[in-house]
């Protein structure tokens, strides 16, 4: 969906939510949507996690419901690179927690932004002797990243190509713990959760350096899915409704205490 059309839908949702909801119901009721995503707690939790499916999965389900999508949502947990592969080929309908890129724009349609940005933290082994306070302090040190994720350009420039990739956030953290990279960069929410789960809080140190990336988060729908246009319309209507009444913030606070 092009930007102008999406803004028209959002305008309709804001000005006449009853009419917009009826339109979405007629367009998208019924049919199972496949949501492919990587485990990324607390935004996307592992299957059967006691605290729930995760912040962004709950937001996606509620938004689609409010927008009038009447079908089921099948959640498939796969590595992030696999999720992108599925979306590019229409094997999945949508995903959550995505940053925009021109490369992804080839095969994805973007929802209304639902999170303003991401705060990144930096960790190294306690015995490394590193002290990171400013971005320049990263220069010359090797970074551990999660494969398939988009990271701030300013941070990557400091690494100058000295990068190791883990399969996911936990894999990236373990690269540092095992000495294969010096510093891991993680989002504040996901990184804190993963380090605790791995039992590494006593072996890693979080540095004073933080980096805030103002790029927003989106839900993204496959351009090669026949269901994506109607589902995206429903999602945008639902997200606009949830932003108006504060539901997104309330869901986040349930997971982040």
Q: What is the pTM of this model?
A: 0.70
Which tens digit of pLDDT belongs to each residue from 133-184? 999 999 999 999 998 788 989 999 998 889 999 988 889 999 999 999 999 9
CA distances from 211 to 98, 152, 197, 223 (A): 18, 9, 23, 32
Which tens digit of pLDDT belongs to each residue from 107-144? 999 999 999 888 999 999 999 999 999 999 999 999 99
Structure tokens, 20: 């917009």
Domain ranges for the chain = 3-116+215-255, 118-213
Structure tokens, 210: 């933080």
Homologous superfamily of 118-213: Periplasmic binding protein-like II (3.40.190.10)
Which tens digit of pLDDT belongs to each residue from 17-75? 443 444 444 444 458 999 999 988 889 999 999 989 999 999 999 999 999 998 999 99
Identify which of 87, 86, 95, 153 has the alpha carbon closest to the alpha carbon of residue 120.
153
- Domain 3-116+215-255 shares a fold with domain 118-213: yes
What DSSP line would sit under 185-205, residue for residue? EEEHHHHHHHHHHTT-TTTEE
> For the domain 3-116+215-255, what is the CATH code?
3.40.190.10
């Amino acid at each position: 969906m092009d930007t102008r059309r999406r803004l028209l839908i959002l305008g309709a949702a804001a000005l006449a939510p009853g009419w917009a909801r009826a339109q979405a119901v007629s367009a998208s009721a019924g049919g199972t949507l496949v949501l492919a995503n990587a485990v990324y707690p607390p935004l996307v939790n592992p299957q059967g996690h006691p605290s729930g499916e995760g912040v962004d999965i709950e937001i996606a389900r509620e938004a689609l419901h409010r927008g009038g999508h009447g079908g089921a949502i099948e959640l498939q947990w796969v590595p992030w690179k696999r999720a992108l592969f599925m979306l590019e080929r229409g094997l999945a309908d949508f995903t959550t927690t995505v940053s925009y890129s021109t490369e992804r724009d080839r095969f994805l349609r973007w929802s209304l932004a639902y999170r303003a940005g991401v705060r990144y933290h930096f960790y190294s082994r306690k015995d490394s002797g590193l002290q990171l306070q400013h971005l320049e302090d990263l220069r010359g040190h090797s970074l551990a990243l999660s494969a398939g994720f988009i990271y701030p350009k300013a941070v990557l420039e400091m690494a100058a190509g000295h990068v190791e990739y883990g399969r996911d956030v936990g894999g990236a953290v373990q690269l540092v713990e095992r000495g294969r990279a010096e510093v891991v960069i993680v989002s504040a929410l996901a990184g804190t959760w993963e380090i605790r789960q791995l039992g590494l809080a006593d072996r890693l140190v979080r540095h004073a350096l933080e980096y805030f990336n103002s790029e927003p988060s989106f839900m993204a729908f496959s351009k090669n899915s026949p269901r994506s246009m109607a589902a995206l319309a429903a999602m945008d209507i639902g997200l606009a409704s949830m932003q108006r009444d504060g539901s997104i913030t309330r869901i986040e606070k349930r997971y982040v205490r």
